[in-house]
Structure 1
Amino acid sequence: MSEKINAVVCGVNFGSFYIKAIERSNKLALCGILSKGSEKSRRISEQYNIPLYTDADEIKDADVVIMAARSMITGGRSSSTVKKLLKNGISVLQEQPVHHLEVRDLISAAADDVKYAVNNFYRYLPGVHEFLAYAEKLRAERKVLRCRMSCSSQVLYPLMDVLYSAAGGAESFTAQKAADGAMSVITGEINGIPYFLDYYNEYTENIDSSLALFFDLKIDTDGGNLILTDPAGDVIWQPHLSCMRDDESNTEKYRSSMPMKRLYSGDIADYAQLYEKAWPEAMERSVLDFIGSEAAELKARHLRQCEMCSMVTTAAGAPVKIETPYTDSVML
């Protein structure tokens, strides 16, 4: 592609990560900011010498708008702006989470050739990318027995997106609460495969802060377990334990094999590297993949994943607000 893809970012708080992603890209160009006109948005507009739009109808030359402002499910009203953009023929990549009823409404507002998707840039981090590649190989070669996973409510959608890909889609999906508490246990099946989800269902005033955990995923098969420790962490293969007797064949080969094999080593040293490099790189890939995808496939996939999230949150019940967030600590 010789010409750059023109992108407008709406929302300059979390959207600042997308701005970094566009700034580092040789395929994307920042052509405007859509905002209510905050001081921060004015500074960014002046810094990059780009238009500051205060109404979606003002945008004419954008190939994509990245919506990084909150949707209804997190107390925002960005979806009304998304609908206006889609009706104007402008494709929109919307930051998660978004309720599946909102997604259904937005898809109905978009023409067949106008693209819309809920974004999960975490899947474009190297570790998650490697995990999904190994998961695809496992589906072809082994019998998948179950999936075990955990997440905080803020990152349920990214986890459901990764689970959807790891399972090869979601022709069937169910969710029921098995145990209550701050860490609810949700059980169900995806494509006939049982899953167990430890779901952290508390939040603080700043919904994006104080995550008690991010997300992890384990796929158990008849030959061993594939483990994603964290989106920025390791991918591990854990063969089944088998205590062999001395007179059995291949004893030395088994004894010399590793009980846990690291397939990918997370190489993110600190949060500075995560925010300044890893996230923007993943966001760039997510935007480029969105641009290169088919509109109908995007809409069907992301609607299904949002439905999966809704089923989990319905089973878990309303989240509990805590006044004092858990404090950070350093393990010595």
Structure 2
Amino acid sequence: MPAPIPTLCCGTRFGRAYLEGLRLAPGFVLAGILARGSQRSHQLAARYGVPLYTSLDRIPGSIGAACVVIRSSIVGGAGTHIALDLLRRGIPVIQEHPMHPREVRQCQQLAADAGTVHYLNTHHVHLQETQKFLRLVRDMRREQPICFINGLCGVQVLCSLLDIMGMLLGTVMPYAFEDYRPTPRHILDACGVEAFPYEVVRGHMAGTPVTLAVQNYYDPADPDNNAAILHRITVGFPSGNLTLQSAAGPVLWSDRLHFPRDIFDMENAVRPHSPASRLLSEPVGPSPVHLVERLWTQAVAHALEEFRLAVEGRDPFPDRGAYAQALCAMWAERMQQLGAPHLVRLA
């Protein structure tokens, strides 16, 4: 078995999920942390028994991979600058979303020139219940086609929602969406709200009808929170629909109901005594502690396993680079189409 790759973790906010995820990923071993030098960063470096670097110039040549868990340029961070520096050294990089498509192209081109790998991670697609959802949809597609996909999310996680939808289809290309019409002012005034709960855009991905409903506002005092529903995806089939209630589950199947001409003659209905809906997950969902400390870190480990395969030239998704560029282009276009999120004080 190959020796684990000495890995640098860049960032210690959401990067903490990567620090734990690296423990669960046998192909990697944490070899250092890159951060600004806050008290939290010093404490984490001490806890994991690794050096803390506050400058890229101090990173040793023994580093064999890097996790860049710092906001990219499009959301006001230095993540892409750091990723580019590491790629120039030939160090493979897994980087957290979202990224502008131009940044993705730049990182991928530099990775190709350096003979290494840049892997975009949208995180939520790797959660256990989301992976179950993807497997169930793939199994059903062997027997019947997808009729439609409806996706609903907070604006903060639109990119990861689009990735889950793309993985359902195996691609996001080609795609097209209708012109967006914002909620009229008189509707907002009648409801007494500054922003409508969800703005809707229709289109298609790879020829499949798609409806997006996006909560395009957040509280500027707490921008990473207050999504009424983080993710929700329904995939329609001729026989019914499969719904992922959130990226952490549960998964629910609902039959497409078909009643006989005489509605009270139900014995002639299709499967008259079968449950019309079935829960395909545990009856009780995860607690927030379990979600953050276990499921998120397991999702990171799952992404790292895919990253390792890509580094070894064994990526099961050979068009991942082109897919990542198309995904981020679609995300950036939808964000531009919807306009800047409304800033709404919710407290």
TM over 0.5, shorter chain: yes
> What SS is found at the alignment partner of 1:325?
coil
Residue 303 and residue 233 in structure 1: after superposition, are their counterparts in 2 closer, same or farther (change >3 A)? Answer: same
Task: Write the letter of the residue equivalent to 1:304.
Answer: A
1:78-135 per-residue CA deviation (whole Å, 9 max, x = no partner) reads 2111111111101111111111121112212222531112212222222111111121
Aligned runs of 1:1-332 on 2, under 5 Å? 1-57=1-57, 58-111=59-112, 113-181=115-183, 182=195, 183-205=198-220, 206-244=222-260, 245=262, 251=268, 254-265=271-282, 268-293=285-310, 294=313, 297-322=319-344, 324-325=345-346
TM-score by length of 1: 0.90
> What SS is found at the alignment partner of 1:110?
helix
Mapped contact 1:177–1:185 kept (Cα < 8 A): no
Mapped contact 1:136–1:168 kept (Cα < 8 A): no
Mapped contact 2:27–2:308 kept (Cα < 8 A): no
- 1:145 shift after superposition: 1.8
- 1:254 shift after superposition: 1.6
> What SS is found at the alignment partner of 2:112?
coil
Structure-1 separation of matches of 2:323 and 2:116: 15
Mapped contact 1:157–1:306 kept (Cα < 8 A): yes
> What SS is found at the alignment partner of 2:271?
helix
Structure-2 separation of matches of 1:61 and 1:106: 21
Structure-1 separation of matches of 2:178 and 2:53: 44
Task: Write the letter of the residue equivalent to 1:186.
Answer: V
Residue 260 and residue 284 in structure 1: after superposition, are their counterparts in 2 closer, same or farther (change >3 A)? Answer: same
- 1:41 shift after superposition: 1.5
Gaps (5+ residues) in structure 2?
Answer: 184-194
Range 297-306 or range 276-285, more displaced: 297-306
Identity rate of aligned residues, in percent? 26
> What SS is found at the alignment partner of 2:319?
helix
- 1:190 shift after superposition: 0.6
- 1:207 shift after superposition: 2.4
1:7-43 per-residue CA deviation (whole Å, 9 max, x = no partner) reads 2111101111111222344443110001122222122
Mapped contact 1:219–1:227 kept (Cα < 8 A): yes
Task: Write the letter of the residue equivalent to 2:38.
Answer: S
> What SS is found at the alignment partner of 1:151?
strand
Residue 267 and residue 177 in structure 1: after superposition, are their counterparts in 2 closer, same or farther (change >3 A)? Answer: farther
Question: What is the root-mean-square deviation in Å for CA atoms of aligned residues?
Answer: 2.2
Partner of 2:186: none
Task: Write the letter of the residue equivalent to 1:31.
Answer: A
Task: Write the letter of the residue equivalent to 1:314.
Answer: Q
Mapped contact 2:32–2:50 kept (Cα < 8 A): yes
Range 8-17 or range 178-187, more displaced: 178-187
TM-score by length of 2: 0.86
